[in-house]
Structure 1
Amino acid sequence: MVSFPDASIDYRQHPECYRIGHGERGVFHVHPYKGELLPLWAIRNEADARQAVADLYARYRDYRGQNDFVGMDMARKYLQMGYTRARRYARYPGGRKKDAEGRLRQPSNADAEKARIAEHYREKLDQVRADDVYQRAKREYQRRLRSAKR
């Protein structure tokens, strides 16, 4: 078995090789989804982030309509990455948790715009996570993987 994520695999052609994993694992290695989703992702400013959230959610809906669980889950991961990265920048100046000497910084509410951006991402992330179609597809995907291992 090949380790996950393996950037040489086309996960649309071989969805059985995909692993859901924790958090944002695979966002930069799961092809062709990375190429479709990464260009949409942004946290630069609130206007760009609003557009990114709308575009990522539209892609999620496209994957959902195609019954493409891997695409749905990857869109979820990009929404999650938008949320977590924006929260980090909202709490730590420059997004860095450590200072120049390597000491941990105390979190603060350093950037109100990044906090708003995080909330835009979180709203859509919560919608995806609560989507009945996503939940069913995830359970079915996990069931198929368990059956294949037997």
Structure 2
Amino acid sequence: MFLAGEFLTADRLNRLQPVDYEAPATAALAVATTTYADIPGCSLTLNTTTPGAAFKAWGVFDCSVTTTNTTALIVGRLLVDGVNQNGIAVYAMDTADRATIGMVWTGTLGAAGSHTLKLQGALTAAVASGGSILQSDTKLLVTITEIA
């Protein structure tokens, strides 16, 4: 918030501009267990200058099913500073198929400083050679809006 008659600095005005960060996958992630694993390349470490910066994160997961299963799902999630965010991307494994699925997360980064956001993938039930989250169309996009 700016008060009437207040002097504005360039640094403070620059914080009003949202900044985009992008991290495309650098390799596929084979998913066959319920243990979440990092998707190679889909990790961002960035710095904020003020506490309470807002983030919007879009995760896109290029899912390919190897072994069909009517109860298992390929799932993707976002971690912010090691904390799982609410909501997951979900892809059903009932046909040997491929689809690009997405999920959006929003939140606030508590303190100023370094923050790490990353995508992970897993299955909801273990299946031998269940599937993959492919490199070609998997990506993390984050927009940071600082407080002026």
TM-score range, shorter chain: under 0.3
TM-score of the superposed pair, with normalisation by structure 1 = 0.27
**Normalized per residue, which structure has more strand?**
2
Task: Identify, as 1 or 2, the structure richer in helix.
Answer: 1
TM-score (ref. length: structure 2): 0.28
